[in-house]
Structure 1
Amino acid sequence: MGIKEKYHAMTRDLMWEPKDFDMNRVYPLIEKEGIILKDPSRWEDPFRMAYNQYVKIQSEKDGIYHAVRNAFEANDGHAKVVDSRWYEGVKVFANAVQPAEYSAHRLMAYVGRNIPIEAIRFATFNQAIDELRHAQIEIKHYAHMSKEIDGLHAFANTSQNLWFNTVPKSFFDDAMTAGPFEALMAISFSFEYVFTNILFLPFASSAGAVGDENFAAVGKTVQSDESRHMALGMSALKMLLEEDDRNIPIIQGWLDKWYWRAYRMFSVVSTLVDYYPRIRPISWKKAFEMYVEEQVFNGLFKDLRKYGIRLPKHAEDSIKEKEHYSHVTMRILDQFKHANMFRGFQLQPDDYEWLSNEYPLFDEYYAPFFRRNDHNVFANASPGVPAICQVCQVPAEFPDPDNPTKLWTQYSEYNNKTYITCSPGCKHIFEQEPFKYMQIWWPVEAYLNGEFGEDPVAGLFKYIGLSPNEAGEHYSSNEHARWLEYRRHLGLDKKFF
């Protein structure tokens, strides 16, 4: 066989039409979303990869990654990072991203099961395995980290129960309860195509800059898979747009929703880029301009105009918010550092200098907040719990970018009850499907309702698998003291001139 014939035989020709059951019974969701499919068989997987090719490529990538990981672990790489507070950011990444990778594998399996298009089924099959690979690589990384740092010894329990993780979980639960085509747009387009570069590339670059070669290798090997995922999302999007004009308004609605859902979920990535590394190759603002504004808004969406697709509904709001995003999110995390698996930290003089140079509004609106920590590391600790957004489940503490002294909190009425959202983008999403988002459950409500005993604080830490001394502020922690002692033991604290 030629290459094309062999590809068809090993992937496309495995599909069949059932004789004893109606297709609508086998694929009950295929018509539920209103998507019109005229000739889906013409859709091609852009990579045209057979399974044996896939396994060979992935095996080679695993071999390269694990060689880097083994060398890092054998050579005391943990002690050689520029500043141990970096690992607080890695804990954030661990808690949010690894469970999201696992959820993404379930989501791709759901899409493949419910869309009877051979190329999509095979592509989602490969992507589901990719996502499992990412989850396992990250767990391997965290298993080594847990020997040296706090917060990861009960990783499975913490990831399942920590209140912070309701944000990524709500995103994937939302997609899993959507139809298969909407789920495909949620993960392969909005998550993968629009935001995956800004998730892995800047943070992996920061890892390399601060000396964490292990995490840099994680970012590189994961991102190498994302190029295929991005291609799947783009091909699927164009296929649906070209099938029938009646698909266009449906898809536009999905792009409006899932752009903002993914953007809000990635809010914590902005802090990982701007705050946790002591050496920063790029700011969140510049990364957003490069990967989202230039590549997506000024590139992709210009190409989509011929189909009648415009920019996502609240794209302009996210552009305005780039001046504030990382500072507001870091402010939220700092207020609740006493109840998380990752610690906050006092900003150092070089932090203030860098943030001031990169963000003209930092000194006026955000520096005074962080300065209060200089004399008391818990000066900004919140005495209560925040009001959270009914859609994204991030605390509703974002300022209006046009008026930074005023909160952006929105209010919606449904069934004689008032619901709050963090922004006009989340308000729009809520009002499209209020019956869906009114049902959220937030762990903090359970704490306050006494579900964890008479002492809600002790019950909280038991529930999430941590002890109180694993939270708080980094530079005053036992973990930081251990890291300094580790460096002294290795002679890394000596300076030679």
Structure 2
Amino acid sequence: MAKLGTTGRYRALTRDLMWDPKSVDWKQVYPLVEAEGIILKDPSRWEDPFRMTFNQYVKIQAEKEHLHHAIRHAFEAHHGHARVVDSRWFEGVKAFAVAVQPAEYQAHRLMAYIGRNIPVEAIRFATFNQALDELRHAQIEIKHYAYLSRYYDGFHAYAKTNENLWFNTVPKSFFDDALTAGPFEALIAIAFSFEYVFTNILFLPFAASAAAVGDEHFASVGKSVQSDESRHMALGMSAMKMLLEEDDRNVPIVQRYLDKWYWRAYRLFSVVATLVDYYPRVRPISWKKAFEMYVEEQVLHGLFKDLEKYGIRPPRNFEDSIKEKEHYSHVTMRILDHAKQVNYFRGFKLQPDDYEWLHNEYPNTFDRYYAPFFRKMDDHVLAVASPGLPAVCAVCQIPTEFPNPDNPSEMWTQYAEHKGKTYQFCSPGCKTIFLEEPEKYIQFWWPAESYLSGEFGSTLEDMFEYFGFTPEETNEHYSSRDYYRWIRYREALGLDRSFQVNG
């Protein structure tokens, strides 16, 4: 047999693994492929833009694993956790743990679902690789949390907290929504809206913040993950173009998916805005500037210009997301402060340098609308804690506490009736999504209802047992045992405090 060339070898190792079923009807094997109305004429012509074989994939990933774990071992051996400029950074890592790591794991399930149900060779092999990527991401993040659990509250029952904490209903709702959609909608949800549009703003600013505050381990996690995301982004872009080029009848379907999943992904990333603007004591970039760079310039005013030739317009509600960039991180931090007594990551008193930086980055909004709220906590750590459980959006599961960006003195809360029951939403974007698929969202899990029904038990202690942590692991960081442990650890190492703390 003649030796295969590069193209022939690639096809033999990836494309030629497909076959047409003989003893079972094709539609029985792929029952969902026609359910969404997507037209596939000749998808075999579509290529994975990276044209990567499995042995190449394993070699590249092994090299990245070796480098990452070398950095991890050095960080742990040299007491890296005590060398960050301010221990409140690890409260942000805790929030990242509940918001992002479960999403990584769910993403690997979602890619397997897409690959199983879309009979396109290149998509199946690319989603197989990405499913492995997402599982690797989840594992290296958990490894970091396991190390931190030796020194910080909140991680000792991570699996239980991950499953039961009300805060995790936000990423759960996103991925449950995608996993119960058709495979093509799921492809747009994860490969395009989540990966292409927002992945840069997830990992690049937060990894840069980790490096700036001295958390070399988490900076390595971010770099290792982001190096995979370039392939994921390429898959999302090329797969969407393939659908648009297959048949003009696909255009309105893809547009509907883009409208929905842009807003779903945008709301999912609300906590990232806070992690960029608030938790680091040294901030390389603000959420507003990162949003302008990675979403406005590269996606909304860049990519969608290229998609105009297919008849695709920018996503519905994208203008609302641009208006919110002046408010997004502050509102989310305010929501987290309201509920810090029932979260396993703490809030904290803002320090003078925090007020100065936020004033300089958000001169039009921070001092006027948000600084007075945070100053209330200067005198009492629970001054801004909510006395009860918040009402949450029936779509994104975030508390309905967002202001109208056109008039920040009024709330943006929306309402809709369905089958005699009133539902509320954080924004017009979520309300519109609900009205298009109400039967899907009326099944959402609301922690307040579960608490009142006795799902958590009958006492406050029962609720914390259900969550997997204790009241001592909540509230404010600078008055917590975590902070004092960190100070004592630094003193034992002969390290000076990099930043002063008032109160």
TM-score, length of structure 1 as denominator length: 0.99
Q: Alignment length, in residue pairs?
A: 494
Q: Deviation of residue 494 (structure 1)?
A: 7.4
Q: Indicate the residue corresponding to 1:289 in structure 2.
A: 292
Q: Is the 8 A contact 2:114 2:127 kept in 1?
A: yes
Instruction: Name the SS of the counterpart of 2:416 in structure 1.
Output: strand
Q: Output the CA distance in 1 between the equivalents of 2:56 and 2:433.
A: 41
Instruction: Name the SS of the counterpart of 2:254 in structure 1.
Output: helix
Task: Give per-residue Cα distances to partners, 1:343-371, cap 9 Å, x unaligned.
Answer: 00000000000001100210000000000
Q: Output the CA distance in 1 between the equivalents of 2:326 and 2:189.
A: 26
Q: Is the 8 A contact 1:83 1:278 kept in 2?
A: yes
Q: Deviation of residue 451 (structure 1)?
A: 2.6
Q: Output the CA distance in 2 between the equivalents of 1:452 and 1:97.
A: 24
Instruction: Pick one of 411, 414, 429 that aligns with 1:410.
Output: 414
Q: Is the 8 A contact 1:332 1:397 kept in 2?
A: yes
Q: Deviation of residue 436 (structure 1)?
A: 0.3
Q: Deviation of residue 141 (structure 1)?
A: 0.7
Instruction: Pick one of 311, 314, 320 that aligns with 2:323.
Output: 320
Q: Output the CA distance in 2 between the equivalents of 1:175 and 1:494.
A: 45
Q: Output the CA distance in 1 between the equivalents of 2:456 and 2:65.
A: 42
Once the two structures are superposed, the pairs formed by residues 17-416 of structure 1 within 5 Å of their partners are 17-360=20-363, 361-416=365-420
Q: Deviation of residue 464 (structure 1)?
A: 1.0
Could you tell me which runs of 5 or more consecutive residues in structure 1 were left unpaired when the two chains were aligned.
none
Task: Give per-residue Cα distances to partners, 1:144-185, cap 9 Å, x unaligned.
Answer: 010111101100000000000000000000000000000000
Identify the range of structure 1 (416-425 vs 208-217) with the bigger mean alpha-carbon deviation: 416-425
Identify the range of structure 1 (328-337 vs 457-466) with the bigger mean alpha-carbon deviation: 457-466
Instruction: Name the SS of the counterpart of 1:384 in structure 2.
Output: coil
Q: Is the 8 A contact 1:447 1:459 kept in 2?
A: no
Relative distance call for 1:358 and 1:494 in structure 2 (3 A) is closer
Q: Deviation of residue 493 (structure 1)?
A: 2.1
Task: Kindly provide the amino acid, as one letter, of the partner of residue 28 in structure 1.
Answer: P
Q: Output the CA distance in 1 between the equivalents of 2:46 and 2:99.
A: 34
Q: Output the CA distance in 2 between the equivalents of 1:443 and 1:415.
A: 22
Q: Output the CA distance in 2 between the equivalents of 1:267 and 1:242.
A: 33
Task: Kindly provide the amino acid, as one letter, of the partner of residue 421 in structure 1.
Answer: F
Q: Output the CA distance in 1 between the equivalents of 2:250 and 2:423.
A: 31
Q: Deviation of residue 442 (structure 1)?
A: 2.0
Q: Is the 8 A contact 2:457 2:463 kept in 1?
A: no
Q: Deviation of residue 453 (structure 1)?
A: 2.7
Q: Output the CA distance in 2 between the equivalents of 1:414 and 1:467.
A: 38
Superposition CA RMSD, Å: 0.8
Q: Does 1:435 align with 2:435?
A: no
Q: Deviation of residue 443 (structure 1)?
A: 2.6
Task: Kindly provide the amino acid, as one letter, of the partner of residue 26 in structure 1.
Answer: V
Instruction: Name the SS of the counterpart of 1:411 in structure 2.
Output: strand
Q: Output the CA distance in 1 between the equivalents of 2:108 and 2:14.
A: 20
Instruction: Name the SS of the counterpart of 1:473 in structure 2.
Output: coil
Q: Output the CA distance in 2 between the equivalents of 1:451 and 1:294.
A: 46
Q: Is the 8 A contact 1:412 1:418 kept in 2?
A: yes
Q: Indicate the residue corresponding to 2:454 in structure 1.
A: 450
Relative distance call for 1:217 and 1:2 in structure 2 (3 A) is same
Instruction: Name the SS of the counterpart of 2:100 in structure 1.
Output: helix
Q: Output the CA distance in 2 between the equivalents of 1:284 and 1:127.
A: 27
Q: Output the CA distance in 2 between the equivalents of 1:239 and 1:453.
A: 51
Task: Give per-residue Cα distances to partners, 1:313-336, cap 9 Å, x unaligned.
Answer: 000000000000000000000010
Q: Deviation of residue 290 (structure 1)?
A: 0.2
Q: Deviation of residue 415 (structure 1)?
A: 1.1
Q: Indicate the residue corresponding to 2:501 in structure 1.
A: none
Task: Give per-residue Cα distances to partners, 1:370-410, cap 9 Å, x unaligned.
Answer: 00000001000100111100000000000000000100011
Q: Does 1:483 align with 2:495?
A: no
Q: Output the CA distance in 2 between the equivalents of 1:355 and 1:145.
A: 29
Instruction: Name the SS of the counterpart of 1:34 in structure 2.
Output: coil
Task: Kindly provide the amino acid, as one letter, of the partner of residue 308 in structure 1.
Answer: G
Q: Is the 8 A contact 2:390 2:448 kept in 1?
A: no
Q: Output the CA distance in 1 between the equivalents of 2:66 and 2:23.
A: 46
Task: Give per-residue Cα distances to partners, 1:219-268, cap 9 Å, x unaligned.
Answer: 00000000000000000000000000000000000000000000000000
Q: Deviation of residue 42 (structure 1)?
A: 0.4
Task: Give per-residue Cα distances to partners, 1:97-136, cap 9 Å, x unaligned.
Answer: 1111000000000000000011000000000000000000
Instruction: Name the SS of the counterpart of 2:392 in structure 1.
Output: coil
Q: Output the CA distance in 2 between the equivalents of 1:288 and 1:101.
A: 22
Q: Is the 8 A contact 1:163 1:444 kept in 2?
A: no
Could you tell me which runs of 5 or more consecutive residues in structure 2 were left unpaired when the two chains were aligned.
499-503
Q: Output the CA distance in 2 between the equivalents of 1:224 and 1:274.
A: 24
Identity %: 74
Q: Deviation of residue 450 (structure 1)?
A: 2.2
Task: Kindly provide the amino acid, as one letter, of the partner of residue 413 in structure 1.
Answer: E
Task: Kindly provide the amino acid, as one letter, of the partner of residue 364 in structure 1.
Answer: R
Q: Deviation of residue 454 (structure 1)?
A: 2.4
TM-score, length of structure 2 as denominator length: 0.97
Instruction: Name the SS of the counterpart of 1:246 in structure 2.
Output: helix
Q: Deviation of residue 446 (structure 1)?
A: 1.4
Q: Is the 8 A contact 2:118 2:124 kept in 1?
A: yes
Q: Indicate the residue corresponding to 2:468 in structure 1.
A: 465
Q: Output the CA distance in 1 between the equivalents of 2:461 and 2:94.
A: 22
Q: Is the 8 A contact 2:464 2:470 kept in 1?
A: yes
Q: Output the CA distance in 2 between the equivalents of 1:282 and 1:451.
A: 42
